[in-house]
Copies of this chain bind each other. A is one copy, B any other.
Amino acid sequence: MAAKSCHSFFKQKIMKKTVFILLVLFAFVACKDNGDPKTELAATTQGVMDPLPSWNEGPTKSSIMEYVQEVTNEGSAMFIPVSERIATFDNDGNLWSEQPAYFQLFFAIDRIKALAPEHPEWKTTQPYQSVLENDMATLMTFGEHGLIQIVMATHAGNTVGEFEQIVKDWLATAKHPRFDRPYTDLVYQPMLELIYYLKANDFKTFIVSGGGIEFMRPWVEEVYGIPKDQVVGSSIKTEFVMEDGVAKIKSLPALDFIDDKAGKPVGINKFIGRKPVFASGNSDGDLQMLQYTDSNSYESFQLYLHHTDAEREWAYDRESSIGRLDKGLDEANEKGWTVIDMKNDWNVIYPFQLEK
């Protein structure tokens, strides 16, 4: 499935339930200066329009909406100027699923197998060896850092344009092992609504992910509506080359930056240059991003997604090798951050479930 048709497919699925809401939100985004945010928010409060229809009523949804209403209200002591409304979202396990393994890992496995003949040393070097031996259990022990190593190592030598096409070709054909659907079908409908809700309220939304920046950029724009230049992630080094008079950027087999844990606030400062007021994540790898946001002198919002739904998605937290949420959960409880209980707070997980 090409990115284009993926987008069309995605749009079709969500249309049945949320088309009206999204159209209204888009209208505000498209011409925010002519819209009246107060009218919109008042309508929402009165239940006339719900910008977060896939979120069940309750303290989680209320805390998000009350925050947004307060900080966008010029008369409030919590008012935040538009230029300071920076919202950052982790990607894996936060905007789309990350089980039974990071989706980028499935991509990397296919790439490693395709590239293995050129790299005989991988047969005896971890974590490559476990990939080639289909030994997922061993592979998982290397965690997100191991994934980053694998992915970065397998991306070298391509131009940016070539790699973008490789990712799009993979997304067009690969299927998730449990749901037998394209990976981009496994984005969270409630989080899409949250992104649009924040955008409609003049927040500038960024992805801040431990995943590879060049793996995300080919598709996040169409799937999340977040521009390529608003994606912060891990990266490998690149170089500028002139080949036959044509300027190109090529990837090099060396890590440039790991955008995880303490790297997330560093990446935010480097790319965004401003402390977020709203941060959303799901693992201990996001903790420093939430701590950094929490230190904002403006009223800030920290949101953790707790995977509690083994039936519709997955349930995991303190013991998981993927997306472990342990210290973060303690700190969220201690500091009163908002924690999404996926099972109880979301009435829909994926856009394709809106069909039912």
CB neighbours of A292 from chain B (8 A): 240, 247, 249
User: A132 at interface (Cβ–Cβ under 8 A)?
Assistant: no
Contact A247 B291 (CB under 8 A): yes
User: A117 at interface (Cβ–Cβ under 8 A)?
Assistant: no
CB neighbours of A291 from chain B (8 A): 242, 247
Contact A228 B272 (CB under 8 A): yes
Q: How far is the CA of A31 from the CA of B295 in the complex (A)?
A: 34
Tell me, rounded to whole Å, the shortest Cβ–Cβ distance linking A33 to chain B: 4
- Contacts A240-B265, A262-B240 given; indicate if A270 touches B235 (C-beta within 8 A): yes
Name A249's contact: one of B213, B217, B227, B269 (CB within 8 Å): B269
CB neighbours of A206 from chain B (8 A): 229
Interface size class of A (residues with CB under 8 A): 35 or more
Q: How far is the CA of A238 from the CA of B247 in the complex (A)?
A: 31
Q: How far is the CA of A239 from the CA of B264 in the complex (A)?
A: 10
Q: How far is the CA of A266 from the CA of B247 in the complex (A)?
A: 11
User: A204 at interface (Cβ–Cβ under 8 A)?
Assistant: yes
Contact B265 A213 (CB under 8 A): no
User: A5 at interface (Cβ–Cβ under 8 A)?
Assistant: no
User: A160 at interface (Cβ–Cβ under 8 A)?
Assistant: yes
Contact B83 A248 (CB under 8 A): no
User: A336 at interface (Cβ–Cβ under 8 A)?
Assistant: no
User: A294 at interface (Cβ–Cβ under 8 A)?
Assistant: yes
- Contacts A31-B33, A239-B266, A240-B265 given; indicate if A288 touches B247 (C-beta within 8 A): yes
Q: How far is the CA of A28 from the CA of B239 in the complex (A)?
A: 38
Name A221's contact: one of B83, B221, B249 (CB within 8 Å): B83
CB neighbours of A295 from chain B (8 A): 246-248
User: A273 at interface (Cβ–Cβ under 8 A)?
Assistant: yes
Q: How far is the CA of A288 from the CA of B231 in the complex (A)?
A: 24
Tell me, rounded to whole Å, the shortest Cβ–Cβ distance linking A262 to chain B: 4
Binary per-residue interface labels of chain A (245-276) against chain B in the complex, 1 for a CB within 8 Å, 0 otherwise: 01111000000100000110110011111100
Other CB < 8 Å A-B pairs besides A83-B221, A214-B273, A247-B288, 19 of them?
Answer: A31-B33, A160-B269, A204-B227, A217-B273, A228-B274, A229-B229, A229-B230, A229-B272, A229-B273, A235-B270, A238-B266, A238-B269, A239-B262, A240-B266, A240-B288, A247-B292, A249-B269, A256-B270, A271-B271
- Can you name 17 A-B pairs with beta carbons within 8 Å? A31-B34, A86-B229, A213-B273, A228-B272, A228-B273, A229-B229, A231-B273, A235-B270, A238-B266, A240-B265, A240-B288, A240-B292, A247-B265, A247-B288, A247-B292, A248-B295, A249-B292
